[in-house]
Amino acid sequence: MKQISIEQAAMRIAQALPGDGAFLCVGGKRPNTMTIGWGGLTYFWGKHVFLAPVRPQRFTHPLLEQEGEFTVCVPAPGEMRKALAQAGTLSGRDGDKFAAIGLETLPGRAVNAPVIRGCALYLECRVLARTAFTGEGTDDEVAARAYPQGDFHTLFFGEVIACYAGENV
């Protein structure tokens, strides 16, 4: 696995999230993954930051709050579609999601969160801040489409402390 520039990573993420999505992984006593289709790389507080929206009712949410670190694992375009779909529908509350889906993990290089073997891009992030998104001031059409039940996200701001390409890239 080789280090890549944040600019290269931003382009891959911009393609992946509107498409099949990516995996967000959290470590700790009970590691978990979930599929993300929103979020992205930005620049805040003089740092490269991945903005990860996670709904409070997701099993990953309290793990992310507790651990304060996460990884974003981006498959190559068109790859791992079934696993991404399963990671978005199964709950870690019911058991080891990695095993249930058949995903092999490796330890993160810089954080205590796993990465998923076979992905094209990896970001390792340390949470700098989190804030509850309430929907206040949100465009009516966006609110109706994205939050019909009012189940707003918590926005996790994760400093990118490692950024690298997968083995086959």
What is the structure's pLDDT at 94? 84
What is the structure's pLDDT at 167? 78
Residue 125 domain boundaries: 2-165
What is the structure's pLDDT at 93? 85
Cα 77 to Cα 96: distance, rounded to the nearest angstrom? 26
For the stretch 60-84, pLDDT in tens is 999 999 999 999 999 998 899 999 9
Under 8 Å CB-to-CB from 2, ≥6 apart: which residues? 164, 165, 169
26: left (phi over 0), alpha (psi -120 to 50) or beta: beta
Give the global pTM: 0.93
| Distance of alpha carbon 130 from the chain centroid | 14
Q: Each residue of 140-149: b (16+ CB within 10 Å) or e? A: eeeeeeeeee
| Distance of alpha carbon 165 from the chain centroid | 16
What is the structure's pLDDT at 7? 94
| Distance of alpha carbon 57 from the chain centroid | 16
For the stretch 4-58, pLDDT in tens is 999 999 999 999 999 999 999 999 999 999 999 999 999 999 999 999 999 999 9
Domain count, the chain: 1
For the stretch 78-136, pLDDT in tens is 899 999 999 988 888 888 999 999 999 999 999 999 999 999 999 999 999 999 998 89
Check pLDDT > 80 for residue 169: no
Q: How confident is the model at residue 168 (pLDDT cuts 50, 70, 90)?
A: low
CATH, residue 125 = 2.30.110.10
